[in-house]
Amino acid sequence: MNRFIFLVDSFSAWVGKAFAWCILLLTFGTAYEVFVRYALRDPTSWAFDISYMMYGALFMMGGAYTLSRDGHVRGDVLFRLWPPKIQATIELTLYIFFFFPGILALILAGADYALESWSYNYGTGEVSINSPANVPISQFKTILPVAAALLLLQGVAQVCRCIVCLRTGEWPAHLEDVEELEKVLIQQHEEEEEERRRSAAARDGATK
């Protein structure tokens, strides 16, 4: 079960980091639009479409990666104070009764939405109505069921994580990843404080 969790976490991380490159396309597209609009007085007809497609793809395809790192917003004011087994019991219940039904509905509705988009224009696919560039958007709408399927797979891994916690009393470790600088500094400060306390205790013991 731990092996399965590791494999799914690794796959979600690979997908999330692959789609993180959408940030560069979004940045370059927006910067180019600003330059030609205000410097050359010649705005593009496709920049708006590119911006919401890149951001939407990044947001949706990064969902499973965020779930694998326990990074989604949660009200953990009380949750973090409870023992791991109680936490696992609550999470398992929520996954079964809320997460999976919602994700399955999203997969079905998203697949229908995507198929309808691909059926436009005699099967050649839907184009954007937000600009005169006729940018194809069927592939963008296909991301919806694909992202939901990835979330479903990661949800199964999270259920396995809950089961392991119920058996062992401890949460399986998440894969290591880049940490925010603020969190790193806080951890370093705590380690330095702990080291000072140990040194002070050792000096007190030596004097006694």
pLDDT tens-digit readout, 39-84: 999 988 888 888 989 999 999 999 999 999 888 887 777 888 889 9
Which structural domain range is residue 206 located in?
183-208
Query: Of 147, 150, 159, nearest to 4 (Cα)?
Result: 159
Same structural domain, 122 and 140: yes
The pTM score is 0.81
Look at the chain and report how many structural domains it folds into.
2
Provide the pLDDT confidence category of residue 206 given band limits of 50, 70 and 90. low
Pick the residue with more confidence: 111 or 204?
A: 111
Phi-psi region at 127: left, alpha or beta (left = phi > 0; alpha = psi -120 to 50): beta
- In this predicted structure, the answer to whether residue 207 has a pLDDT above a threshold of 70 is no
Q: How far apart are the first and last CA of the chain?
A: 52
Buried-state track 1-19, b at ≥16 Cβ within 10 A, e below 16: eeeebeebbebbbebbeeb
Same structural domain, 128 and 107: yes
Same structural domain, 143 and 207: no
- In this predicted structure, the answer to whether residue 85 has a pLDDT above a threshold of 90 is yes
Same structural domain, 55 and 155: yes
Take residue 52 and report the two structure tokens written for it: 């919401």
Same structural domain, 135 and 112: yes
Same structural domain, 142 and 197: no
Q: Report which secondary-structure segment, H or E, holds 122.
A: helix 120-123
Same structural domain, 34 and 137: yes
- In this predicted structure, the answer to whether residue 179 has a pLDDT above a threshold of 90 is no
Same structural domain, 30 and 67: yes
CA dist list (Å): 134 to 49, 123, 180: 10, 15, 40
Take residue 167 and report the two structure tokens written for it: 């058996």
% of residues, the chain, pLDDT over 90: 60
Same structural domain, 104 and 194: no
Same structural domain, 205 and 188: yes
Q: Are 113 and 139 within 8 A, CB to CB?
A: no
Same structural domain, 164 and 187: no
Same structural domain, 201 and 135: no
